[in-house]
Amino acid sequence: MQLQDILYSQGFGTRRVCAGLVQQGHVSVAGEVATDASLDLPVQGFQFRVDGVDWPYQEKAYLMLHKPAGTECSRKPGTYPSIYTLLPAPLRQRPQKGATQGVQAVGRLDQDTTGLLLLTDDGQFIHRMSSPKHHVPKVYEARVRHAIEPRQIERLLAGVVLDDDPKPVRAAACEALGEHLLQLTLTEGKYHQVKRMIAAVSNRVEGLHRARIGGLVLPADLAPGQWRWLSAADLAGLKAVQPESA
């Protein structure tokens, strides 16, 4: 693929802008400043540098973000800054079918929820991870107002009815990590589900954090607001989640 097309595919702007980046000496390949935007290069494993920042060529982008509190998972946020402002411009501009679409969050977290959020421009991956058929487990840690009672845990495991659906929803796993700290595993993603389930057992969420999705744990060294590419091993683990028979 020509260097200018590689840059275009990775979100660096129109082909003309990308050719300009090369001509103006912003792009390096294998440690050398590139001069020819039409240079043909193999994309597999290709790395390049733009203005001192290293980029791997990614046919599809998969990343994790440590979502900080006070951010909205929307491109057009109402009150708080968008999580997308935490990503570099090329990730927000990656083209899809000729339009600049960028990566999208795989599901949403509330503005005050922190923790692991996946983003990608692979629509099939978003579908697979979000589809209720696949039951991808998501592990949350909820700080609650009132001391946790064993009966509350029993009810969360047995299933509670939320106001908009007569079918009970249950936690796949639930345990107290402290007097006011509950760990809860859900395999579906209804609106405000953790908060509503905990309210249904007469307690109240005062802080919510997502620690894990499938086998992927939020790395301890990924600070709030930071993002990282998913490794091939991270991705293989997530993609290996199989549909369960209901």
Instruction: Report the nearest approach of ligand URA to the CB of residue 217 (Å).
Output: 17
- Residue 178: φ, ψ to 5°: -170, 180
Concatenating the DSSP letter of every residue in 145-207 gives SSPP-HHHHHHHHH-EEETTEEEEE--SEEEEEETTEEEEEESS--TTHHHHHHHHTT--EEE
The residues of the shown chain that bind ligand URA, judged by CB under 6 A, are 109-110, 113, 192-195, 208
Of 5, 36, 51, 110, the catalytic one is 110
In the complex, least distance from residue 20 CB atom to ligand URA, rounded to whole angstroms: 41
Q: How far is the CB of 36 from ligand URA (least distance, A)?
A: 48
Q: Is 110 a catalytic residue?
A: yes
Kindly state the smallest distance separating residue 75's Cβ from ligand URA, in Å.
17
The residue written with tokens 């107290």 in the block is 176
Amino acid at the residue 136? V
Closer residue to ligand URA in complex, CB, 195/239: 195
> Which lies closer to ligand URA via its Cβ, residue 73 or residue 91?
73
- In the chain, DSSP finds a helix count (H) and a strand count (E) of 7, 17
Q: Which residue, 75 or 192, has its beta carbon nearer to ligand URA? A: 192
Collapsing DSSP to helix, strand or coil, 63 comes out as strand
Closer to ligand URA by CB, 9 or 193: give it. 193
The 3-state DSSP class for residue 83 equals helix
Indicate which residues carry an active-site annotation: 110
